[in-house]
Amino acid sequence: MLKLPVPGAALLSVLLLAGCSTPEPLLQDDEWATRMTQLLSDPAGEGGAGGQITTDDSAQGTPSAQVTLASVPAGDYDVLAVCRDADLVHLRIVRFAEAHEPATTYAEADIPCGATLRLPVVTDTTGVTIEASGPVDSQWEATIVTPNWQPPVTTSD
């Protein structure tokens, strides 16, 4: 399920990047994470996070993995996200939770593993939390980039 806060922002796209579609057994987990971080890092972006999903808390309604980037200013962004070791990982971008304020979901979507998801996000306050949920042992990486930024094209030799 996809929820976008901006009408007409159906610009959700899935990019097939050679670097992200490398057969998974060729790269170890730490090599894959380093490569994805390098590929998806926009020098003018706002950073990102990732890791391995180690628990499944979906029955309790909590995400399996989350990270808060407290310094991301309000504005328009794209979130580029990749995953591996699963069919799908669900990604959700949430307003930075402060005391006495309910969480607001800015955007969410399923990442088809082996492809790169581009998810447009408009934030209205400083700070976001990135949540990922999916099968235990799946890997994920997400980076907040400037709108329409493209990662460099890579090829496998």
Per residue in 9-35, pLDDT tens? 322 333 333 334 444 455 677 788 888
Residue-number span of the structural domain to which 110 is assigned? 15-145
Cβ distance 69 to 143 under 8 Å? no
Task: Flag whether 8 is in a domain.
Answer: no
The CATH number of the domain holding residue 71 is: 2.60.120
Question: Radius of gyration of the chain from Cα atoms?
Answer: 15
CA distance 84 to 36: 11
For the chain, the first-to-last Cα distance in angstroms comes to 36
CA distance 62 to 143: 21
Task: Flag whether 81 is in a domain.
Answer: yes
Name the residue among 9, 34, 36 with its Cα closest to residue 115: 36
Per residue in 35-80, pLDDT tens? 888 888 898 999 999 998 988 766 655 557 889 999 999 999 999 9
Task: Flag whether 105 is in a domain.
Answer: yes
* Structural domain count of the chain: 1
Task: Flag whether 77 is in a domain.
Answer: yes
Enter the pTM of the model: 0.75
Number of neighbouring beta carbons within 10 Å of residue 118? 19
Cβ distance 72 to 46 under 8 Å? yes
